[in-house]
Chains A and B, each alone.
Chain A
Amino acid sequence: MVRRVIEVEGLTKYYDERLAIADVTFSVPRGQVLGFLGPNGAGKSTTMRILTGYLSASSGRASIAGHDVFESPVESRLRIGYLPESTPLYSEMRVADYLRLMCRLRGVHPRRQADRIDFAIESCGLQARRRDIIGRLSKGLRQRVGLAQAVVHDPDVLILDEPTSGLDPGQTRETRALIVELGRRHTVILSSHILSEVSATCERVVIINQGRLVADDAPGNLGKRLSQDRATQVELHVIGDRDRILAVVEKVRGVESVTVNPTEDGSWEVLVTGRRKDLQDALAKAVVKGGQGLRQLQSRQLSLEDIFLELTASEEVPVG
């Protein structure tokens, strides 16, 4: 079996003249849960639609388990379970009948269909809803039916486009837990525009913005790596002589800039920017050692959310 289950190389897609994704390249090893993160309009759905063979790319290659999605669409789709963004389902059908139809369309052996339907229904918590008409289910339950149809033929790869959009917080939590569970058995690509969702469910995050990949790492590393080559800011409130404070603070290794402003209560507000992980500790030690009165100290560390915003903030990207 191929170790890289999903391979995408130089994928580019134009809608008429409009560039939707540009030169997207990544690969996913078997068993990984990959978060595909980006703001609305970044090109997540477009990439997924190309992977599932619904759209063709303007250029580039994509393959699932070694099967090119353009050249052998049936072979590659056999290995994919897909949940489109809007969770489209046949609303007049009953849950179990719908799953049976999907089994038939996706080549599950007739003798194994009953087992697979039971498995999908149980793993998505739909036992009590087997005979229900899909159109009468709540949004959260329909989402589960959507996930059940994606796993019913036991595909190698699950492609889930914003699987929690439009759900209330309780349903969102349930759905995330379900995806984590499904991730034990399948290779998963999950798209989202919510960073916390991706860091909660995925081992790896690919960030896409304006059709281009801008980052690719584990959620933890992503935060670390980005905050390393980024200045941290610390805010101190100090009592004492302005010039002495300045002298003490500027001597601390890694400090790049210092501004000192007076405050109403007679202390000084000192804003320090520097490139050092333990900047906060170092500053506290230096100030106390220098005989100044330290009133308050807080770090303005960038959260993952800030990093995401910064990465995906509209900026001029070279075209080519």
Chain B
Amino acid sequence: MVPAAVPQPPAPPALPERESDLPASRGGGLLWESGISKVAALAWREVTSYFVSPIGYVIAALMVPLVSVFAFLPAVLSGVPIAMDRVYGGLAYLLAFMAPFFTMRLVAEERRTGTLELLLTSPVRDWEVVLGKWLGAFLFFLAITAFLFLFAAVIVYYEPTHQVVSVGGLPLSIGNLDLGATLAGYLGLLFEAAALLAIGLLCSSLTQNQIVAAFVGLVVTLTLVFLLGLGTFLPSPLADISQYLGAYDHFASFNQGRLVAGDLVYFLTVTVGALFLSVRVLESRRWR
């Protein structure tokens, strides 16, 4: 009963017409070849599944009150002229807490339910999966922070002069909005979100347990945003290193209206690095 000695079975009957051995009119041309259409399809699925999943609702529902209470209101109540940087600043800290919850599901859940096997055996490259999922999380972040424009609009409405309006006896100070600084701060926020979401995605790709993914992600993002910024107390070379590695200072530089190449490089390095590692983690399954 040696396999090699087994005779080949008879020829099969002819199949009904097929256009080719390829999928029915494979298409999309360059968009397909470049992977853009696949990345877009994956990102879109992630965005829509955020809006049907409880965690998506919870995050979206928490976002406005949290930012309002911790960032917008204190600024407005402070009595000094305000701009968006106060809001961005609050959000930049909040993001360290929230990003891992945005991303914990992305790969871990697919690993747990087994859908990852179906995804990775589709004609999709590993980097397309990673990029699509990251982009989905990023677009979701954009969507649920869209209310920031509302805050900005409130400020702009009172442009050009700073004034104090009284609402229910509370003196509210509303101020001049510097468009350049507003956009720079927003850009800084986007870069920080990009980096933290990429780190969260990496953590999600390492496990099939969402809670573990969120917890490990939290440890990393909190360290990056809070802990390293406190390194100024360390002896001199360590202090500089820790400050450079901390994410908040790089964001703060944007938020002060400065566009510095170094900050850009920092966020791009973290983002691309974490995405690259995620791709390697997905690839590693083959060697196990």
Contacts and interface: CB of A to CB of B under 8 A. Distances in A.
Contact of A78 (B7, B22, B118): B22
B123 interface: yes
Given A74-B125, A78-B23, A216-B3, A88 B114 contact: yes
A59 B244 CA distance: 46
A203 B12 contact: yes
Nearest to B126: A73
Interface in A246-265: none
Interface string B110-133: 000111111111111100000000
B114 A84 contact: yes
Interface of B: 1, 3-4, 6-7, 9-16, 18, 20-28, 32, 37-38, 41-42, 45, 49, 52-53, 113-125, 285-288
Interface of A: 1-2, 5, 15-16, 23-26, 29-32, 49, 52-56, 65, 73-75, 77-80, 82, 84, 86, 88-93, 101-102, 104-112, 115-116, 149, 153-156, 184-185, 203-204, 212-218, 311
Given A15-B288, A112-B25, A216-B3, 20 more contacts: A31-B14, A52-B121, A53-B121, A54-B117, A54-B286, A73-B125, A79-B23, A84-B118, A89-B118, A92-B53, A93-B49, A108-B25, A108-B27, A149-B118, A154-B24, A185-B15, A185-B16, A213-B3, A213-B6, A216-B6
26 contacts: A24-B3, A30-B15, A31-B13, A32-B9, A53-B121, A54-B121, A54-B285, A77-B124, A78-B23, A78-B123, A82-B118, A92-B52, A92-B53, A105-B42, A105-B119, A105-B122, A107-B26, A107-B27, A107-B32, A108-B25, A108-B27, A109-B27, A110-B28, A153-B24, A154-B24, A185-B18
B240 to A, nearest CB: 44
Contacts of A109: 24-28
A17 B18 CA distance: 43
Given A88-B115, A92-B52, A105-B124, A155 B23 contact: yes
A153 B12 contact: no
A1 B12 contact: no
A136 B1 CA distance: 47
